[in-house]
Each structure stands twice: as C-alpha cells, then as structure tokens.
Amino acid sequence: MTSTLDPRAGLGSAISVMRPDGAPAPVRPEADQTIASFAVDLVVALGARTAFSLTGGMAMYLNRAVGSHPDLKAVYCQHEQACVAAAEGYAKAADFAAPGFAVVTAGPGVTNTITSLCSAYGDSAPVIVLAGQVKTTDIDPYGSRTHGAQEVRSRELVSPAVKRFEQISDAQPIQQLIDAFAEAFTGRPGPVFVEIPLDIQNRRLAYDAQSVAAARRDVQTRIDADRGAPATTELVEALEWVSSGRKPLIYVGNGCRIANIGQAVLDFAEEAGVPLVNSWLTADLAGAEHPLNFGAPGGLAPIWANRILYSADRVLFLGARLDLGTTAFQRDAFGAQAARWIVDVDPAELSKFAALDRVRLTCANLKALPQAVGAWRAKHDAPPDRSDWLESCRALRKAESAQERARLTSDAFTVHSVAQSLSNWAGERVFVPTGSGAAIETFIRFFAPHSGSRCFFGASLGAMGLGLPQAVGAAFAVERQVICIEGDGGLMLNLQELATVAHYAPPGFVLFILNNDGYLSIRASQVRHFGATMGADHESGVFIPDYGAVCKAFGLDHHRIDSRVALDALLPSLAPHASPQVIELMVARSEPRGPSAKTLIDENGKITSSSLADISW
C-alpha cells in the first residue's frame, strides 16, 4: 500500500536524492527526460509518494512519467473529483508536510476537479495537480466556445479554486515549476494547478538527480524564508497578554495543525494554566481526556464549550478562520464579551475583524510559536493562580456532560451511539468522515478522539461524497488504520471509488455507512420549516441502493449492523492488516443532536440565528 519513505518527512527533512537504503535515486534514461518527467520527479522530491490519477490522451506523457517512477505509487481512481480529493486526504494525513499529488487530463478531466480543488483550497491543503492540455498551437486564440479537442478555458475555470494556476511553456519550465510548487506551502498553504500542454510535456529536458535536488532546495529555501521569525516578538506579547488574564482562553484553529505547533500550544497551556477550546478540525490536537481541553464551541456544540467561551475575559485565537458555520453566522459576536486577539497568516481572514472593538489582529506565521513559547517561558517561573477559573470550567463540563448523556442516551441505534463506540475504539487510527450531513454534523459533534487518534474532513466546503476518496488518499499516506464514515446518501456521489478500494485493497481500511434513509439533515430542516420533504429520502424521491448487493458487485466484504451491542462486538475483529471492510450501520431515521443554534425566519422572511450565548436544551 505505501512506500517505505514517510511522506510526512516531506519538506521538513533535508534535501536528499537518496533512497532509504542509501543508494542514489535512479536517473531516468536520457530518452525519458522531458519537462513532464522533471515535473513528476520534483513532486516526488518534495515528499509525494503516491500519485492519484485518471489517465487521458492529453496527459499521456505525464501519465508515462508517473507510471515509470520507481519511488512513486500510481493509484488510478475512477473519477477526477476523487483523484484530487484523495490528494487532499493524503496531504492532511501527512500533517500538511508533504504534497498531495494528482494527475488529470484536459477538458472534462479539468472540469471534474473543481469541487475537490475548492475543498482543498478552503482547508489549506498543499495539493499539486499536474494537468494536460491540448497542444499550444491548438489553444483557442479566437474566443470561440470550443477549439482544440477537449479544450476548456482552464485558467478562468480553475484560478478561483487554487492558490496558483500555472501554464508551463518551454522558455523557463524549471523556474515555473519551482515557483508554482513553492506556492503550495508558503504563507497559507493550498492547492496549485499546473497545466502542461501536450507538446510541452514531451519537450526534451536534460537533467540529473542533482538538478532535481537543486530545484527542491529552491522550494525549501522559499518555505524557510516564509516562516516569519520576525513575528516572534509579537507572538510573545500575545502569550503574555492571554496568560495575564483573569479568565483566559485559547481557541486552537487548524492553522496550528498546518504549522505543526500543536505540542507547543499544549506546552504553553499547561505551563500557563490556560484552558483550550478548538475548531472541529482540531478536535484531535489535544486528546479528549486532556484536562484543559473543553471541546469545540459553535452553533452545534456542547453547552459547556459555549458557556466557557462566553465567560472568558481574554481569548487568543490561533490560526482559526472563524467561518460563519462555526460561529452560527455570528462571527462578530463570537466571544465578544472578552478582549480578543486573533493571529493568522492570511490577511484576508484577519480583515473580517478589522472594524471590531476590543480586537487586536496579528498577521504571522504560527511556525514561530515554539520560539515564542520558549521566550515566554524564560520570563516566567510560575503562572498566576487561576484555580477558580479552571475549576469553574471543569465543574461546568462535568454537570453539562452528565445532562447530555442523560438526554441523548437511548435504546435506539443512533449516530450518537456510533460516535461513542468509535471514540472508545479509536486508538491511533485515522478517521475521515464526510463533509456534510449527519455523517459529519452529528458524528463529529459526539466523536471524542483520544491522544494519538487523528480525525479530519472537508470542513470548508462541506461537500457530500468526498469522505471516501479522501480516506483512500489517507490510506496511502500513513501506516495506520484508516476509517471512513460516510452517509448512505453522500456515498452515492463517489460510489465508483469502491472499485479503487477493492482493487488496491489498503490494509485495514474500513468504510462505515450511516444508513438513515437519505439525507437526515436536509429532511429535518425541510420538516421543521415546511412540514414536508422534497428529494430527501426514499419517500420523496431519493433512491438508495442495497449496499450489500453493491459491495458484492465490487467484491468487498459487507456487514449490516443494527445495534450498538452488535457494533461493539464487531469492532475488535476489524484488524489493522485485514482486507477492506464495509460496515453498514442501520441507524435511526432521526435523532436529537443536542443544543444548537436555531435558524429564525421572521414575518418578512429575514433569516437570522439564535444567540450562541443563550443556547440551552
């Protein structure tokens, strides 16, 4: 399934053109040295060990370069959307240290990537896409609707969904590739899309292993220069500020994961005695058992997390987008009773708060935070006594969690009970839920990853159906058991990737299907607002197949489970090195999700949300 090279070493390791056994990496025969092969070789040098691809005529030399690289695993997905989604999952499972890598053809191959590119862009995943294009002489110069065979206006279509779009020419191809690939990792990371016309792909380019190493070194130099050491002083000031509060709080965003500073944040919180809350994407950064971890506040959240947020007097936000979904469309009011200090690498994210009172903004790369913690530590022997604040946080969590258990525990087989069982079983597994519906809103709400567990999903776009291909990508990035959680409706959007799972058979791979007869979230919303359903379940027009029969057609093992007792009995048998398994969980058609912000529609049709500060049962 995986190479012996660890993709997470990626750009954090020294430049090397050596294999793990010390032997020099092979140089391609001179006849195979082209612009396409150099591009592929450089992506591998940057840490990619798997390429997710669907072959096509306009990418034939890229396809050849991928298939002939001795240290690159080619995984051929069944749809280009899945190729890029798998690349996103790969990059996230590699902790953003190595690029996810996808290769697609021109025309429909390009258009099919857009959804997954948007997902990777919003979640800051460093993904590199190499795409084919028609010959340079066939690219439309007239402004006609169609010109070259399968030609589309890639730049105009793709640019809004990526950090950088680059069309390679034969003038300075190596420099173009260096510039584009560095963009995936500098500043706020994100996907880059590199289009190579067919005649440019096959252009001869003489190079050797040292040439690839030099290009990689150029990329690394740009990343190192971007780490923002001069911001250390302001970060130290931010730490001083929050640690001197009477009721301080740190909100841990996904930027902390991307910058690989999770341990530094935990060290500071423990030494300063400052409680932590987090976004859904960073629910796994501090284990659920950590005494300073108080969960994820927001529109769908435990009462204690919101109450703690709205009781703090100082809140330091680290690398958090504070999107409208998280803040229940109340971003300005999110912890507004407190003084707020927001640190982010993206000036556009900070601009959302520029006009607010009692908010300080710092544009900085959080990679400098460990040095800032060291500088703060040198000035402090012991933190101030905040035992009353910490005790009140713990008492609130204890009381509200007991009430939550009492209200949500039932004899029915629910997503809540599934999340509890998988939390108990999590270990050091990697969990990849889908990005939309009950498979994320309810599962992530109640899933409690413990220390060593990993959990990620497509948060920014919330696209149905990306869970399975993202989980496939993760399975090729790490030597850990990968668990996918999909909804019965969402799975249909990328059902074809069961063929990828069946063919490559990543060891230990498990797909849990939450079968609640269609789209639970949509159904609940429609019933609440309209008293009827439309295109939400079998009765209103959505057909969900017999997944047992589907799995049989793909040659996959299938189990149907209808109780928590049966699930708990099955889990120990899901061995890390077993063949892939599909577990269909026949959960309740509806269930409570606990306290949440409510959508309010007044008599004039104006839509607002109920206050997070006042959420109750």
- Summarize pLDDT for 527-577 with one digit per residue, the tens: 877 888 888 888 888 899 999 999 999 999 999 999 999 999 999 999 999
User: What's residue 5's pLDDT?
Assistant: 44
pLDDT of 18 reads 41
Q: At residue 131, what is the residue type? A: A
Which pLDDT band, with edges at 50, 70 and 90, does 440 fall under?
confident
State residue 11's pLDDT score.
Answer: 58
Task: Give the pLDDT of residue 202.
Answer: 96
Between these two residues, 602 and 355, which has the higher pLDDT value?
A: 355
**Quick one: average pLDDT of 178-187?**
96
Which segments of 94-201 does DSSP mark as H helices, in order? 108-111, 114-122, 154-158, 173-183, 198-201
Confidence of residue 384 (pLDDT cuts 50, 70, 90): confident
Q: Which CATH architecture has domain 229-398?
A: 3-Layer(aba) Sandwich (3.40)
Query: Tens of pLDDT along 406-420?
Result: 899 888 999 999 999
Task: For residue 128, give both structure tokens.
Answer: 């590199």
21-30, 95-104, 332-341: least confidently modelled range: 21-30
pLDDT tops 90 at residue 616: no
Q: Put residue 480 in one of left, alpha, beta given phi > 0 → left and psi -120 to 50 → alpha.
A: beta
Q: Read off the pTM.
A: 0.93
What percent of the chain shows pLDDT beyond 90? 74
What is the predicted pLDDT for the residue at 325?
Answer: 84
- Mean pLDDT of the 217-221 span: 95
pLDDT band at 490 (very low <50, low <70, confident <90, very high): very high
Determine the Cα–Cα distance for residues 566 and 570; give it in Å rounded to an integer.
6
Indicate if the pLDDT at residue 293 is higher than 70.
yes
Is 413-586 in the same CATH topology as 229-398? yes
Q: Rounded to an integer, what distance in angstroms lies between the CA atom of residue 424 and that of residue 420?
A: 6
Question: What CA–CA distance (Å, rounded) separates 595 from 83?
Answer: 37
Write the DSSP symbol of residue 462.
-
Of the pLDDT bands very low, low, confident and very high (cuts 50, 70, 90), residue 582 is: very high
For the chain, the first-to-last Cα distance in angstroms comes to 47
Amino acid 436: pLDDT:
83
Give residue 47's identity as a one-letter amino acid code: G
pLDDT exceeds 50 at position 2: no
Domain boundaries, the chain: 10-225, 229-398, 413-586
Architecture of domain 10-225: 3-Layer(aba) Sandwich (3.40)
Q: How far is Cα 109 from Cα 106, in angstroms, rounded to an integer?
A: 5
Q: Which H/E stretch holds residue 586?
A: strand 581-586
Write out pLDDT tens, residues 300-348.
899 999 999 999 999 999 999 999 888 988 889 999 999 999 999 999 9
Closest of 227, 219, 167, 174 to residue 194, by C-alpha: 167
Looking at residue 307, its pLDDT comes to 94
> Would you state the pLDDT for residue 612?
81
Look up residue 337 and give its two tokens: 């009773």
**10: confidence class by pLDDT, cuts 50, 70, 90:** low
Secondary structure letter of residue 595 according to DSSP = S
Decide: 68 and 107 in contact? Cβ < 8 Å: no
- Region label for 91, one of left (φ > 0), alpha (ψ between -120 and 50) or beta (otherwise): alpha
Provide Rg for the chain, Cα atoms.
Answer: 25
- What pLDDT, on a 0 to 100 scale, did the predictor assign at position 146? 84
pLDDT value of residue 4: 38
Q: Which fold has domain 413-586?
A: Rossmann fold (3.40.50)
SS3 sequence of 201-218: HCCECCCCHHHHHHHHHH
Instruction: Please report the pLDDT score of residue 225 as a whole number.
Output: 83
Number of Cβ within a 10 Å radius of residue 384: 13
* pLDDT higher than 50, residue 12: no
Q: How confident is the model at residue 247 (pLDDT cuts 50, 70, 90)?
A: very high
Residue 339 CA to residue 248 CA, distance in Å, equals 10
> What is the pLDDT at residue 17?
40
**Which helix (H) or strand (E) element contains residue 276?**
strand 276-278
pLDDT of 99 strictly over 60 = yes
pLDDT of the residue at 393: 97
